[in-house]
Amino acid sequence: VAVEVVPETGSTNADLMERAAALDAPLLLVAEHQTAGRGRAGRSWLSAPGDSLTFSLAWKFDAPLQQLAGMPLAVGVALADALAACGVQVQLKWPNDVLKDGSKLAGVLIETQSGAGGIWAVIGIGMNLRMPDEMEARIGRTVAAAPWLAQMDRDQLMATLLDSLAAALAEFSRSGFGAFSARWNRLHAWQGRTVAVLDRGATLYEGLAAGVDDSGRLLLDCAEGRMTVLAGDVSLRTR
């Protein structure tokens, strides 16, 4: 995978969304600093130079499009594997978060773009290495950091993450999310806990989180029976 590193940009996801149509091979774009980082559902992603990793991987999506919903979950498994290899144990929150000790260490934002050769997935990852107090105050909730990773060689850390991601994405294209569901469920942060599924703040469902199925849908045991929740712009909260 070709790698480009830039000192500063608005958003690596925005950059690769613009360039995806013209790409003919996967590309990893790493920014030392992002000034307009994007989160899910139109939120912003804050990061300080040197204290975080912000990067995006443009990857040709050659699996059936209905498999897309499982992609952020497969990426979560790949990140958890790479972090474990670096000595950091994490858990996964459906659909797209990496948690450490219950708060958010990393987020995944996947956007798609169609180009001449087909559909490209732009897989954006933001990971907190250190979290300055004033930035946490601006985010407005407790977030996790991994100072141990901040002490590692950055190129080595990025190489470990990229290897794991590329292997997982190749497996995902071949076999779909089914190849990841058991591993995802072992890493599930909120298994058996009561959770609420929120859409712009409003509770859609509440139930016991029972892991994910082979398509990456969240299984929720509610009073009315078992529900399957598709990943969309919904958020989970524990109750």
3-class SS of residue 194 = strand
C-alpha span between 54 and 85 (Å, rounded)? 20
Half-sphere exposure of 121 (CA within 13 A, CB side): 26
Give the H/E segment covering residue 232: none
Nearest to ligand BTN of 155, 214 (CB atom):
155
Contacting ligand BTN within 42-81 (CB under 6 A): 43, 45, 54-56
Residue with tokens 């009561």: 194
Told to check if 91 binds ligand ATP by CB under 6 A, we report no
Residue with tokens 């959770």: 195
C-alpha span between 21 and 65 (Å, rounded)? 17
Minimal CB distance to ligand ATP: which residue?
A: 39
Interface with ligand ATP (CB under 6 A), residue from 26, 70, 72, 107: 107
Interface with ligand ATP (CB under 6 A), residue from 3, 4, 19, 39: 39
Contacting ligand BTN within 5-44 (CB under 6 A): 11-13, 34, 37-40, 43
Contacting ligand ATP within 109-128 (CB under 6 A): 126, 128
Query: Cα 183–184–186 angle (5° rounding)?
Result: 65
Told to check if 141 binds ligand ATP by CB under 6 A, we report yes
3-class SS of residue 74 = helix
Q: Where along the sequence are the contacts to ligand ATP (CB under 6 A)? A: 39-40, 43, 45-47, 96-97, 104, 107, 126, 128, 139, 141, 143, 235
Which parts of this chain interact with ligand BTN (CB under 6 A)? 11-13, 34, 37-40, 43, 45, 54-56, 96-97, 107-109, 124-126
